Amino acid sequence: MGSFKVLGSRVPRTDAYDKVTGRALYTADLVLPGMIYGAFVRSPYAHARIKKIDVSEAMKVPGVVTIITQENLSRDYALVIEEEVHAAQQVRGLLAGEKVRYHGEKVALVGAETLEAAKEAAALVKVDYEPLPAVTDPREAVKEGAPLVWDDSQPVTAPDGSLLYNVVAEDHRSEGDVDQGFAESDLVYENEYYVHRVHQTYIEPQAAVAAVDERGRVTVWSSTQGHFVVRSNVARSLGIPLSRIRSIGMTVGGGFGAKFGGVVDLYAVLLALFTKRPAKIVYTREEDLLDARPAPGLYIRIKTGVKKDGTILARSAFALWNVGVGGGALWATGAFTRLYNIPHTKWDAYEIATNTPPMGAYRAPGYPQVLFAGETQLNQIAADLGMDPVELRRKNLKAEPGFFETLEKVVEKVGWFQREKGEWEGWGIALGHWRNASSPAGCIVSLDEDGTAKVYTGLMDLTGTETAVAEIVAETLQIPYEDVTIVRGDTDSAPFSPPSGGSTVTFSVGNAAWRAAQDLRQQMIQLAAGQLNALPDELVVADRKIAVKNDPERSLSFAEIAQTALRSPSGPLIGKGSFGGDPSDTNIFVQAVKVKVDPETGKTRLLRCVQALDVGRVINRTQCEGQAEGGALQSASWALMEEMQYDEQGRMINPNLADYRIPTAFDVPDMETILTEFPSRHGPYGAKGIGEPPITAALAAVASAIGDATGYWALEAPVTPERLALALATRQPVRAR
């Protein structure tokens, strides 16, 4: 695998000291002179017509500066930005106009001198609603007679000829002949699964600050996964030229896919534009759970045809994605086919509008939901065939680099074929996967006079990607990690970088940084060759210096090279690197868990959790293990407790962390993590993006372990104590209905 001086080590994160000492600045920490505070008027209904909005009493609250509704936004926005372009059309739908479509939707925005005044005024805005029936379950939303979330929605025809309502998008794919595959199968299994919507539950709620200067130039500070994305979104949504927007990404307290902008940053900009004063908006926890961008829910019916020896011949799926009032989930539907050799596949997928918040990304978007169904069903098939679930996978797994080896690491670590279990204990195993996004990126690396390097980048660091980039540069230049400083710029001061999502940053920005460091290294060698009267090929780079191979006494330190460059005609040494987006390779994630079920209460306790992840190349071992363990725990949490709950009127009934359950330290067993390395062809030093795959398997593994412990197979996630206790008492599958 090669020998490295920096890569694979456990160096501390670049931001570790700032975070543990409290020096790191988050968006909510910002206070600007003359700043006002924003608070929203939100709908108490999931579906209703707005008959009238009266702000007269609210405007009397001392300190109130402005109240924006969709009516005055559409009427006055063109005057506010002094543009003749279709400004009213640009801002259409930013606030509820004629209707509200989910509980907590933004109806009006109050700006005031203090947050207390803004909240008081928001409570005094009078909105006359006409409540309408609501629908929160995609299985109900597609039925004739269901409330239409969008009035102009037209039904579409399903594969069986029935009509589906509230469809906002659809996708249909096939390979081979699935009917032939089922006909040739000895056994055909068909199961229906349902995954409720879940929230990313990052620690720091959505937050943004905006200001507008005398020239009409907008600056936005935000908790975001990508400040270049924020800039583009503000430009597109508000009709402001890109050149008049500066986006600054602050320290981020978690995102997991939900912080790509649009939730609060647009509204902070609106307040700043309307009042000509800096404006801050910070969500409360309840607001975040009501009106951010949670993951989509999924109903999926999977059909699988197999031979008696376990060979999979065909798989098909019919999927209804619960995308709330806005979607983007279809592409994940095929995840259940991509690890295995299956000659015949087909899926029909639909995005279904419901009276719930618009969906967002959540770490491997859509994959945990799909693989819950696909992997759980494979384990049930193995049990029915009297075949070990590992053997079933060995028989059908694609022969791609790392697939078998990573599976075998978990099998060996667990002692899978000698595994033991007590009463009401069970084991589950599942496979997940991801292929990281590959995005354009730029980077600059300069050599300072003391021989250290500075890296100028526009990446947003959520998971330690700055540290990974610093290690890549240090390895390339053959200097200690401590000699590399990361300078993270905003959209005005840094090269373009992709957002932190899709596991793209280490792969894409890492490649740009590697190329920039290579460029700098070549410049250093060329300059040193002239100073040492040697050919470039005769030189070696190591230990902060460049020396002649056969005469190591003839050498120049990096500091001497940097200082010489300042006196040379070419000037300072600056390496530049750009990356356009070469494809990556699939990395597999394997998860094995052991659980114990209390048959009286239905409570499930995790006893052991072992996972293996193909990282391509270990850049920082501690961070790789942390990613694997964090994702696995999130997925297990989906399996056992996380669920956004709605009443019959469509109102969320658990918008707080007392009722929306997430794991505590008492819920987590020791996590055993194995890293395998099967380098990507195009990754920096072979690295693959690893943020996504660890969340893709544990949901299915935990559900399958419960099936092994109880004999009842979960068809719905989460498998809460209530659902499991009811299933055990009634001898029915673990499902809601």
Do both 590 and 669 map to the same domain?
Answer: yes
Residue 271 sits at the vertex; the CA angle it makes with 265 and 277, to the nearest 5 degrees, is: 110
DSSP structure string for 426-483: EEEEEEEEE------EEEEEEE-TTS-EEEEE----SSSHHHHHHHHHHHHHT--GGG
If one counts every other C-beta atom within 10 angstroms of the C-beta of residue 729, the result is 11
> At 86, is the pLDDT very low, low, confident or very high (cuts 50, 70, 90)?
low
Do both 421 and 447 map to the same domain?
Answer: no
pLDDT at 563 over 90: yes
Do both 421 and 452 map to the same domain?
Answer: no
Q: In this predicted model, what pLDDT tens digit does every residue of 87-115 receive, in sequence order? A: 556 788 999 999 999 999 999 999 999 99
530 inside domain: yes
C-alpha–C-alpha distance, residues 355 and 137, integer Å:
9
68 inside domain: yes
pLDDT for 327 equals 86
Alpha helix segments (H runs only) across 108-197: 115-124, 138-141, 178-184
Residues of the chain above pLDDT 90, percent: 96
DSSP structure string for 491-553: TTTS-----S-TT-HHHHHHHHHHHHHHHHHHHHHHHHHHHHT--GGGEEEETTEEEETTEEE
C-alpha–C-alpha distance, residues 268 and 711, integer Å:
53
Average pLDDT over residues 129-139: 98
If one counts every other C-beta atom within 10 angstroms of the C-beta of residue 541, the result is 17
Q: In this predicted model, what pLDDT tens digit does every residue of 156-174 receive, in sequence order? A: 999 999 999 999 999 999 9
Average pLDDT over residues 302-323: 98
186 inside domain: no
Do both 89 and 232 map to the same domain?
Answer: yes
Average pLDDT over residues 437-451: 97
Contact 687, 615 (CB under 8 A): yes
Average pLDDT over residues 651-678: 96
Contact 100, 129 (CB under 8 A): yes
pLDDT at 84 over 90: no
663 inside domain: yes
pLDDT for 734 equals 67
Do both 62 and 125 map to the same domain?
Answer: yes
Do both 410 and 534 map to the same domain?
Answer: no
pLDDT at 19 over 50: yes
The answer to whether the peptide bond before residue 599 is cis (omega within 30 degrees of 0) is no
Q: Which secondary structure element, helix H or strand E, spans residue 38, and what is its range?
A: strand 36-42
C-alpha–C-alpha distance, residues 706 and 244, integer Å:
55
6 inside domain: no
Do both 571 and 443 map to the same domain?
Answer: yes
C-alpha–C-alpha distance, residues 530 and 565, integer Å:
11
Do both 457 and 565 map to the same domain?
Answer: yes
pLDDT for 737 equals 34
Which of these ranges, 89-103, 626-640, 642-656, has the smallest mean pLDDT?
89-103
The residue behind tokens 């409360």 is: 284
pLDDT at 237 over 80: yes
Do both 613 and 695 map to the same domain?
Answer: yes
Do both 569 and 464 map to the same domain?
Answer: yes
Q: In this predicted model, what pLDDT tens digit does every residue of 26-78 receive, in sequence order? A: 999 999 999 999 999 999 999 999 999 999 999 999 999 999 999 999 999 98
* Average pLDDT score over the chain: 96
pLDDT at 541 over 50: yes
* Domain at 574, CATH number: 3.30.365.10
Average pLDDT over residues 659-673: 95
Domain edge (last residue) among 579, 595, 616 = 579
Q: Which phi and psi (to 5°) does residue 177 adopt?
A: -125, 100
Do both 269 and 414 map to the same domain?
Answer: no
pLDDT at 523 over 70: yes
306 inside domain: no
Q: Encode 93-121: b = buried (16+ Cβ within 10 Å), e = exposed.
A: ebbbbebbbbbbbbbbbbbbbebebbbbb
Q: Which is nearest to 652 in space by CA: 663, 643, 641?
A: 643
Contact 390, 416 (CB under 8 A): yes
C-alpha–C-alpha distance, residues 649 and 254, integer Å:
31
Contact 180, 259 (CB under 8 A): no
Show Cβ contacts of residue 496 under 8 Å, excluding neighbours closer than 6 positions: 228, 440, 441, 442, 458
pLDDT at 219 over 70: yes
pLDDT for 423 equals 97
Separation of CA 182 from chain center: 36
304 inside domain: no
Domain edge (last residue) among 290, 313, 348 = 290
In the chain, the amino acid numbered 565 is: A
Contact 579, 508 (CB under 8 A): yes
C-alpha–C-alpha distance, residues 658 and 472, integer Å:
42
Edge-to-edge strand list for the sheet holding 167-175? 167-175, 344-352, 312-322, 297-306, 187-195, 716-717
User: How far is residue 62 from each of residues 37, 66, 116, 118, 628, measured CA to CA in Å?
Assistant: 13, 11, 10, 10, 51
Domain edge (last residue) among 557, 579, 601 = 579
* Domain at 111, CATH number: 3.90.1170.50
Do both 646 and 707 map to the same domain?
Answer: yes
516 inside domain: yes
What the block records as the tokens of 200 is: 């990313």
Edge-to-edge strand list for the sheet holding 604-614? 425-434, 587-597, 604-614, 671-676
Structural domain boundaries, residue 113: 27-132+200-290
Q: Which is nearest to 19 in space by CA: 464, 458, 621?
A: 464
How many domains, the chain? 3
Which region, left, alpha or beta, applies to residue 536 given φ > 0 means left and ψ of -120 to 50 means alpha? alpha
Q: In this predicted model, what pLDDT tens digit does every residue of 266-304 receive, in sequence order? A: 999 999 999 999 999 999 999 999 999 999 999 999 999
pLDDT for 1 equals 45
Show Cβ contacts of residue 272 under 8 Å, excluding neighbours closer than 6 positions: 210, 211, 212, 218, 278, 279
